[in-house]
């Protein structure tokens, strides 16, 4: 009987050991492989606004698409940057999610990229330009653009847009480019819906050039001191203060390339939440 108990104990120990090995293997597999058996690929270095990033060098990436076949991506035409109505001018649905080195925790919002594909046969090989308005975290390539259906189709030969979308995933070449919006496009300052007299949340969009924003300051009219806003999420910048935010406010924003722009009194006295204000003059 003692021998039988000893053998049973040995079997249980082996089973426990085997279970531990299987558990470790499963954990390692989860680290190396993503959902649906897709291997995880580490992200590439951040794509910055340095002169080298705006050069002629094309990098490799993968593209997918989401949303409606001819739509702008998200069902609400928004996205993780906090932009609204990306289906309308000046974005016109030519938008994309970016993975970690492209989205950059929101600091990549508004940046512009030129994309082109030569395979499959439906690809035109001609460059198309998209703006980053959303994020994705699918680890399928060092650089991954998850395009709107409309933007994905724009890489195709005329009349073969749906044929290209049917491919689902396409290898492309890409490079960062300066954003160039149509003449007359004004920089937009949107006061977010949650804002009140002690809390101001702001999204700045439609910037020519770098397109992105990495720093925001505001200044009350008649004062000399600039107050720095904090990053909230996506392209949203905010300030919490016990002092009433009356306005008008001048706004100073900085792009990743280091360009600083000051727009005087763009947020008026008596400003309202969920309202957009535009810069006057040549901004």
Q: What are the pLDDT digits (tens) for 213-244?
A: 999 999 999 999 999 999 999 999 999 999 99
Helices (H), the chain: 2-32, 100-103, 149-153, 161-165
Structure tokens of 36?
């649906």
Q: Is the pLDDT confidence value at 28 over 80?
A: no
The pLDDT of residue 74 is 84
- CATH architecture of residue range(s) 59-177: Beta Barrel (2.40)
Give domain limits for the chain. Answer: 59-177, 188-278
User: What predicted TM-score, i.e. pTM, was given to this entire model?
Assistant: 0.85
Report CA torsion sign: 258, 264, 266, 267.
positive
Q: Which residues, other chains included, contact 128 with Cβ-Cβ below 8 Å and sequence gap of 6+? A: 94, 114, 115, 116, 151, 154, 155
Instruction: Give the mean pLDDT of the chain.
Output: 88
pLDDT for position 38: 53
* pLDDT tens for each residue of 127-149: 999 999 999 988 899 999 999 99
Contact 235, 204 (CB under 8 A): yes
Residue 56 has pLDDT above 80, yes or no: no
- Judge contact between 263 and 251, C-beta under 8 A: yes
Which residue is associated with the tokens 């460059």?
Answer: 127
Between 33 and 57, residue with greater pLDDT: 57
d(CA 44, CA 63): 15
Architecture in CATH for domain 188-278: Sandwich (2.60)
Query: DSSP letter at 123?
Result: B
Q: Is 94 exposed, middle or buried (0-12, 13-18, 19+ CB in 10 A)?
A: buried
pLDDT at 153 exceeding the cut of 60: yes
Cα–Cα distance measured from residue 280 to residue 188, given in angstroms and rounded to the nearest whole number: 10
Q: Kindly tell me if the per-residue pLDDT of 256 is higher than 70.
A: yes
Angle at 140 between CA 109 and CA 65, to 5 degrees: 60
Q: Is the peptide bond before 30 cis (omega within 30 degrees of 0)?
A: no
């Amino acid at each position: 009987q003692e021998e039988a108990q000893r053998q049973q104990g040995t079997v249980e120990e082996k089973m426990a050991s085997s279970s531990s090995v299987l558990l470790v293997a499963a954990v390692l597999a989860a680290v190396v492989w993503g959902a649906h058996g897709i291997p995880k690929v580490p992200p590439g270095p951040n794509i910055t606004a340095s002169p080298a990033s705006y050069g002629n060098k094309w990098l490799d990436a993968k593209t997918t698409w989401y949303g409606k076949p001819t739509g702008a991506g998200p069902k609400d035409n928004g996205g993780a940057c906090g932009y609204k109505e990306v289906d309308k001018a000046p974005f016109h649905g030519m938008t994309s999610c970016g993975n970690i080195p492209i989205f950059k925790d929101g600091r990549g919002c508004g940046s512009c990229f030129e994309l082109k594909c030569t395979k499959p046969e439906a690809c035109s090989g001609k460059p198309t330009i998209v703006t980053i308005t959303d994020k994705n975290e699918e680890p399928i390539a060092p650089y991954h653009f998850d395009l709107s259906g409309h933007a994905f189709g724009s890489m195709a030969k005329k009349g073969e847009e749906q044929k290209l979308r049917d491919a689902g995933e396409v290898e492309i070449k890409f490079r960062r480019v300066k954003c160039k919006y149509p003449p007359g496009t004004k920089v937009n300052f949107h006061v977010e819906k949650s804002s009140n007299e002690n809390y101001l949340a702001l999204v700045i969009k439609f910037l020519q050039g770098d397109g992105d924003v990495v720093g925001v300051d505001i200044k009350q009219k008649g004062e000399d001191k600039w107050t720095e806003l904090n990053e909230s999420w996506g392209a949203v910048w905010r300030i919490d203060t016990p002092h009433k935010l009356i306005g008008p406010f001048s706004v100073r924003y900085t792009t990743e390339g280091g360009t600083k722009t000051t727009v005087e009194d763009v947020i008026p006295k008596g400003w309202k939440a969920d309202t957009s204000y535009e810069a006057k003059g040549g901004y």
